[in-house]
């Protein structure tokens, strides 16, 4: 057993976590203002933005992957712009996979944050405005600290969802070791070459980590709710 | 002096209603705003705060908060607002709740002392009772050194004993800081005790305006007692009729004639008054 584990190539697994970490950080920064805006606005474009945000949940990863592959490659103006201006290629490398992951996991960051913000007592936010605080300051000092369960859920689920990404990475990144060959892609290849032992080990590791991550989220949320709902009178 | 002249279309449960209020309020006044629910009290308060947009003019001590050209955002208006549900920041201690508004430590200390909260200053709001929370909310509103203090049914979620205590503290704070105050309230004893002017709103318009004694005492002519009530039932007993009427939490029986019994309906709002005897108080 130990021999099997020590002989295994851990590169793809580490790459998965690196990708998930970077994606989660980028998404948190991008999704925070979007989720805050969606929770506060009464604008008519809100449903449109919400629908676009939720698209990655319902679209097959191959569809997202296909469009991104097209958009980021030199077949599209975006790909041409990055290639000519910065000399960066956006497909079949790590950068491309990060961009693809951000699209793929966007709803998992936005939706918990948005519903967290919507559950906040409106009077509390107004009390902050009355105290002379701007919307941004209210977001950072009042709204965000009071939606900790939603915040933890958003971050962890985004991370876990990105670790579990397969189709989009395969389409946009292919399977380049050290660049785009993440754990899920590696498992697929193990099965293709009938290396069931490695596939088993990899799958088991993914399963155990995912379970532990989700379990800790739910335990945290239960404890938090007890602490802050318990004293209400 | 606070000059208010605002109009706003409201979409309530009974359809469209127009809030149309023209008022002048003297500095240091304590105004009680009352009226049935849906009469526009909260909207008026929120419009003054800048939390909602209404058409018209709001002028406070010659400073324009709102007119045709300008609309001062809520952040720039010097107001204090006390919500019925306290709206404290659960992630901050009591002291932090106060200092979030204004870093003035001296003022926070003074306010906490005046309201007996000094010992609780490092606690989180969720570990406090309702009365304590509302005192914190009151202190937090005062931290802004408001030119206008707005309170939206601040005491209606509290039990009667706690109400009495908080009424005294509100009075004490008003005497100390002399802040012009508008308070929404449904409680006549509270209004009588705290306010020097009562404004009654009905369907978005000012229906009554004056001192509490004139507005709230409902007796007229030689009547000694007069109460608003609601007929719950009309029962025929032999040749007479008895109406069961709910007055506040109390039920009373009133004998009525058969012709009255025909005119009155169950569910009708009535005024019950008497003048024949001298009341005794025990």
Q: Do domains B2-216 and B225-274 have the same CATH topology?
A: no
Q: How far is B129 from chain A (nearest CA, A)?
A: 6
- Cβ of A128 within 8 Å of Cβ of B100? The answer is yes
> For A63-113, what is each residue's pLDDT tens digit?
999 999 999 988 888 888 888 888 888 888 899 999 999 999 999 999 999
In Å, how far are A68, B54, B64, B180, B210 from B58, measured between CA atoms? 54, 10, 6, 14, 21
- Please give the pLDDT value at position B272: 84
Query: What single DSSP character describes residue A143?
Result: I
Query: Three-state DSSP class for B259?
Result: helix
> For A30-40, what is each residue's pLDDT tens digit?
999 999 999 99
Contact between A147 and A215 under an 8 Å Cβ cutoff? The reply is no
Q: For A2-225, CATH number?
A: 1.10.3720.10
Identify the burial level of B222 via C-beta atoms within 10 angstroms of its C-beta, where 0-12 means exposed, 13-18 middle and 19 or more buried: exposed
Residue with the bigger pLDDT between B15 and B109: it is B109
Measured distance CA(B208)–CA(A107) in Å, rounded? 54
Average pLDDT across chain B, whole number: 89
- Cβ of A146 within 8 Å of Cβ of B130? The answer is no
Say what the ipTM of the complex is: 0.81
How many helices (H) and strands (E) chain A has is answered by 12, 0
- Cβ of B144 within 8 Å of Cβ of A124? The answer is no
Q: What is the DSSP string of B172-223?
A: HHHHHH--EEEEE---HHHHHHH-SEEEEEETTEEEEEE-HHHHH----TT-
> For B169-183, what is each residue's pLDDT tens digit?
999 999 999 999 999
Least CA distance to B100: which residue of chain A? A131
Give the lowest-confidence range in A25-29, A47-51, B225-229.
B225-229
Residue A133 sits at the chain B interface (C-beta within 8 Å): yes
Measured distance CA(B126)–CA(B128) in Å, rounded? 5
Contact between B276 and B251 under an 8 Å Cβ cutoff? The reply is no
Residues 211-250 of B with CB under 8 A from A: none
> For B105-153, what is each residue's pLDDT tens digit?
999 999 999 999 999 999 999 999 999 999 999 999 999 999 999 999 9
> Tokens 């292919």 — which residue?
A174
Report the residue from A126, A130, A228 with minimal CB separation from B90: A228
Residue B88 sits at the chain A interface (C-beta within 8 Å): yes
**Chain B residues closer than 8 Å to A145 by CB:** 91
**Chain A residues closer than 8 Å to B144 by CB:** 130-132
- Please give the pLDDT value at position B220: 59
Strands, sheet with B79-82, edge to edge from the N-terminal-most edge strand? B79-82, B148-152, B180-184, B30-34, B197-202, B205-210
Measured distance CA(A21)–CA(A213) in Å, rounded? 14
Tokens of B206: 């000012």
Q: Which residues contact A194 (CB under 8 A, 6 or more apart)?
A: none
- Cβ of A123 within 8 Å of Cβ of B129? The answer is no
The band of B219, judged by pLDDT with boundaries at 50, 70 and 90, is low
What mean pLDDT is predicted for residues A199-220? Answer: 90
Contact between B7 and B40 under an 8 Å Cβ cutoff? The reply is no
Q: Tell me the backbone φ, ψ of residue B89, rounded to 5 degrees.
A: -90, 110
Q: How far is B4 from chain A (nearest CA, A)?
A: 19
Q: For B2-216, CATH number?
A: 3.40.50.300
Measured distance CA(A194)–CA(B178) in Å, rounded? 84
- Cβ of A232 within 8 Å of Cβ of B126? The answer is yes
User: How many residue pairs from chains A and B have C-beta atoms closer than 8 A?
Assistant: 62
Name the residue ranges covered by the structural domains of chain B: 2-216, 225-274
Q: How far is B50 from chain A (nearest CA, A)?
A: 9
Look up the pTM and report it.
0.82
> Tokens 């979409």 — which residue?
B11
> For B260-282, what is each residue's pLDDT tens digit?
888 888 888 888 887 766 777 77
Name the residue ranges covered by the structural domains of chain A: 2-225
Query: Strand (E) positions, chain B?
Result: 2-12, 15-25, 30-34, 55-60, 63-66, 79-82, 148-152, 180-184, 197-202, 205-210, 225-237, 240-247, 250-256, 269-274
Q: How far is A120 from chain B (nearest CA, A)?
A: 10
Q: For B225-274, CATH number?
A: 2.40.50.100
Neighbours of A59 (CB within 10 A): 16
Residue B198 sits at the chain A interface (C-beta within 8 Å): no
The band of B216, judged by pLDDT with boundaries at 50, 70 and 90, is confident
Measured distance CA(B153)–CA(A57) in Å, rounded? 45
């Amino acid at each position: 057993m130990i021999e099997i584990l020590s002989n295994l190539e851990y590169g793809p697994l580490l790459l998965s976590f690196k990708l998930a970490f970077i994606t989660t950080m980028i998404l948190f920064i991008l999704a925070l203002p979007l989720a805050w805006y969606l929770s506060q606005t009464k604008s008519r474009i809100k449903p449109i933005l919400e629908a676009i945000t939720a698209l990655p949940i319902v679209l097959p990863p191959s569809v997202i992957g296909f469009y991104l592959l097209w958009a980021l490659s030199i077949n599209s103006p975006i790909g041409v712009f990055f290639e000519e201006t910065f000399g960066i290629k956006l497909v079949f490398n790590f950068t491309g996979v990060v961009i693809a992951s951000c699209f793929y996991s966007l709803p998992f960051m936005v939706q918990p944050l948005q519903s967290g913000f919507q559950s906040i007592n409106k009077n509390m936010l107004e009390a902050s405005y009355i105290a002379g605080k701007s919307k941004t300051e209210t977001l950072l000092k009042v709204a965000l600290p009071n939606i900790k369960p939603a915040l933890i859920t958003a971050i962890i689920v985004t991370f876990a969802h990105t670790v579990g990404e397969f189709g989009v990475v395969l389409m946009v990144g292919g399977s380049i070791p050290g660049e785009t060959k993440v754990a899920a892609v590696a498992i697929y290849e193990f099965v293709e070459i009938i290396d069931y032992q490695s596939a088993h080990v990899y799958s088991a590791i993914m399963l155990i980590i995912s379970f532990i991550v989700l379990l800790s989220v739910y335990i945290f949320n239960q404890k938090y709710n007890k602490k802050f709902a318990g004293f209400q009178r | 002096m606070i000059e208010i002249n605002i109009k706003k279309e409201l979409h309530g449960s009974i359809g469209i209603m127009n809030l149309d209020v023209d008022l002048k309020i003297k500095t240091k006044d304590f105004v009680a705003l009352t009226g049935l629910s849906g009469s526009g009290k909260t909207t008026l308060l929120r419009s003054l705060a800048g939390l909602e947009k209404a058409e018209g003019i709001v002028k406070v001590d010659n400073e324009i908060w709102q007119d045709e050209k300008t609309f001062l955002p809520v952040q720039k208006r010097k107001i204090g607002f006390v919500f019925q549900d306290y709206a404290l920041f659960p992630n901050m201690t009591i002291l932090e709740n106060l200092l979030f508004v204004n870093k003035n430590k001296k003022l926070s200390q003074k306010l906490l002392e005046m309201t007996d909260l000094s010992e609780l200053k490092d606690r989180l709001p969720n570990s406090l009772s309702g009365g304590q929370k509302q005192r914190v909310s009151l202190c937090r509103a005062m931290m802004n050194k408001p030119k206008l203090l707005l309170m939206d049914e601040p005491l209606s979620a509290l039990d009667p004993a706690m109400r009495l205590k908080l009424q005294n503290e509100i009075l004490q704070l008003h005497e100390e800081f002399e802040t012009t105050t508008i308070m929404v309230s449904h409680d006549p004893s509270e209004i009588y005790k705290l306010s020097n002017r009562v404004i009654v709103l009905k369907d978005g318009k000012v229906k009554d305006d004056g001192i509490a004694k004139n507005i709230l005492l409902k007796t007229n002519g030689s009547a000694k007692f007069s109460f608003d009530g609601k007929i719950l039932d009309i029962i025929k007993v032999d040749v007479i009729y008895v109406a069961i009427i709910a007055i506040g939490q109390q039920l009373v029986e009133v004998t009525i004639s058969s012709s009255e019994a025909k005119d009155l309906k169950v569910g009708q709002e009535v005024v019950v008054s008497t003048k024949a005897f001298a009341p005794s108080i025990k």
